[in-house]
Chain A
Amino acid sequence: MINLIRNEFKKIFKKKTIYILLIITIGYIILSNIMTKITNDYQNSFYFYGDGDLEYYEARLKDLDPNNISDLSDYVDCKKNIELINLAEHYDENSWQVYIIYSNIHAFLNTIIEHEYSNEITDEAYEEAKKSYDEAIKKLNENDWKYFVEKDLETINSSLNQQYELKNSTKDSKELEQINQTIYSLEVEKRINEWRLEKNIDYGASFLNSAINEYSNSMTMLADYTSKNINELDSQELQEYRSFIESANINKYYIENNLSLDSNSRNIFLNLFGNYEVFIILIGIVIAGSIVSEEFNRGTIKLLLVKPYNRLKILMSKFIVCILILLLSIGVIYFSQLLIGGLINGFDGLASPAIVYDFNANIVKEINIFGYVALLGICKLPIYILLTTLAFTCSTLFTNTAISVAVPFLGYIASSIINQFAIVYNLRWIIYFVTPNWDLSYYLFGGVPLFKGLTLAFSIIICIIYLILLLTISSIVFKKRDIKNI
């Protein structure tokens, strides 16, 4: 049997197919790392106004008449945008100043410009806006972002006090709920601003700044769930709910521990199986889909079958080789990404651990990054093995390479649609099908499965049953087959 396996390896490695597939895969890995490096600058960056916008507003301004009442608001808007763009040009495009200019200063500027053309703005309001505007510009130049944080905090604190007073005086439950919601979001805002001061995180584009934003978004989304009973959520809603919990906790962990994990090679590596899964599957099914059918098509099957090995041994040695090639391709992809990602985007990010949220213990955990990605791979292995086996079975069944590659590939593409369909129409029997069961990563760190009632043990058993079924079919067909004229 060892001899048969060795021979199968020899046959595969003497052919160009495997090398072409590996070269394409590694080429893609190189390309995607380079692409990430190039687009890196935009990843955490703001985008307010670009190059052409200034010309656009200037051209538009000429068509508008501020004395015409219907044009007025457009005119003010254009003029304001031109001023903002000019103002922002003094600063780096990802600096905190630019963020403040577009998120904070624009309001004052609006009042100032409108005052010029309209009577609706009182002189007092104008004066106040002017004062705030001048102060803000001064702080921009002094690089004093904390001024804006403190000002925000002031406003938040006073609103909070107001809300608490309201809460004490209100008896109406509906209103009370409204107040509680407001207090919840104000508290989130307050915490964020306190973090900015405490951890020294300015508004400029950075990893921690995005962590703050994501934390804020997740917490806002979670506000919707406070009134719902978590146990009554359907599996899809539960997945969403948990993703917000996870995001909120992990981003909080980043902020509190000042973890700036901003590395491209790290990001790509962490999502290795999301990025390169299709190549793993392709290599698996192309090898498995041709390993039997090609022998039939070339007639060499006769050569193999008149050797002193029974047919089952011959078939199983071929299957073992397919699985080994699959594992080999995963290994090649794993290490090529580490190496190529490191060479192109730097190795530094790979030293920090992966951060995950454990739903069992409700804590954030640090895991060795290499172990974490390997663990993900093990959880995804049933997908790859079952698709490879499907290709292998098709190969013995149809002795046609094209069909044997196409069927599992289409199955892979259709699998998420099948799951989606089953969720939408609430088809319970789908839990006995392979697609909701073959991705074990759902169970990681106390995660919930795609369908209620699925357990890790159940999923593993279903996967094994399908594996045995496929292998049995191909064994029977292969054993009974008459070798016709080729």
Chain B
Amino acid sequence: MQNIILKCENLHKSFRKKEILKGVSLEIHEGDILGFIGPNGAGKTTTIKLILGLQKINSGNVVINGYNIKSHFEKAIAKVGAIIENPDLYMYMSGFDNLRLIANLYPHVTTTRINEVIKLVGLEKRINDKVSKYSLGMRQRLGVAQAILHKPNLLILDEPTNGLDPEGIKDLRKLLIKLSSEEHMGILISSHNLAELESFCNRVCIIKNGAIVETSDLDTVKKEASEGNFVIELDDAKRARLIVGDISNLQDNTHLQVHVNKENIPFIIKKLVLQDLKIYLITEDIISLEDAFLKKTGGNVID
């Protein structure tokens, strides 16, 4: 078992009687990349703010590297890097000055380390320009740079893919995978770009209306969601629908989706063939994380 870096236990948070978080618990281990998914207003950012001590916890505990954030803030936060909502930067300063400023606040961050990180995020050419001249993507890169400057073992990224072009997302993915495998960082990413997360993380945590709906490995989630879904391509889907009955869904004139156990597939094929229908293809419907997510959360309802 790898070391636990972050442990949240039963977090509660209310704003003026409105309960935002109703007992959120999650864990991040060394080398984990945890996708933190939920619709808007589910409490993702609030959870992150509680973890980082930016808001007061009503009840529950956050323990980072063995230190409670409430009682030992300085020690708990020392090895955490974060971007919350947007990369927070001083627009009137150059990228380098921004990093220099952060470096001053940690012991042992040398100029060599700063240059190393700049290279890592690929900002060498523009690092001496003012941040106000940066594109959103460049600001994200600088945000990541300031978050990993002091070699944290827990990295918390709130919507890190915002404003990145496909190339940038690819770079970020590579960088995060490298950080988690080589430096054994635990990474928490929240994002609404689910297609992105699919390629990033090894575990997901789904939050809905302030409560965790599911925490498991990414593959398990997808498998569970897609279990027993098959798509049959044939010449007359409407007629086939009448034959197969309620377990099937009409996708279009030539595609029929059926929800059955794998063992029952040959019987269905036999039925259809006997009725002179032409079957071209049968595929297992592996749904995307997005569909799995929608299935789990039941759509984007904020209450």
A positions within 8 Å CB-CB of B: 3-4, 6-7, 10-11, 14-16, 298-303, 305-310, 480, 482-483, 485-486
Contact = CB atoms under 8 A, between A and B. Distances in A.
Contacts of A307: 77, 102, 105-106
Nearest to B13: A482
B77 A11 contact: no
Contacts of A3: 104-105
Contact of B78 (A4, A6, A15, A308): A308
Given A308-B74, A485-B45, A14 B55 contact: no
Contacts of B56: 480, 482
B52 A306 contact: yes
B9 to A, nearest CB: 20
A305 B85 contact: no
Interface of B: 45, 49, 52-56, 73-75, 77-78, 80, 82, 84-86, 88-93, 97, 100-102, 104-106, 146
Contact of B101 (A10, A301, A305, A482): A10
A3 B85 CA distance: 26
8 contacts: A298-B88, A299-B88, A300-B88, A306-B77, A308-B73, A308-B106, A310-B73, A485-B85
Contacts, number: 74
A11 to B, nearest CB: 6
Q: Which of A4, A15, A482 has the most CB of B within 10 A?
A: A482
Given A14-B92, A486-B85, A7 B105 contact: yes
B104 A299 contact: no
B97 A14 contact: yes
B49 A483 contact: yes
Contact of B90 (A16, A300, A305): A300
A480 B55 CA distance: 8
Nearest to A300: B88
A305 B104 CA distance: 14
Contacts of A11: 90, 93, 101
Contacts of A305: 52-54
Contacts of B77: 306-308
A16 B54 CA distance: 30
B97 A482 contact: no
Contacts of B106: 307-308
A308 B93 CA distance: 22
Given A14-B93, A299-B88, 8 more contacts: A7-B104, A10-B100, A298-B90, A299-B86, A300-B90, A303-B102, A306-B53, A483-B49
Contacts of A300: 88-90
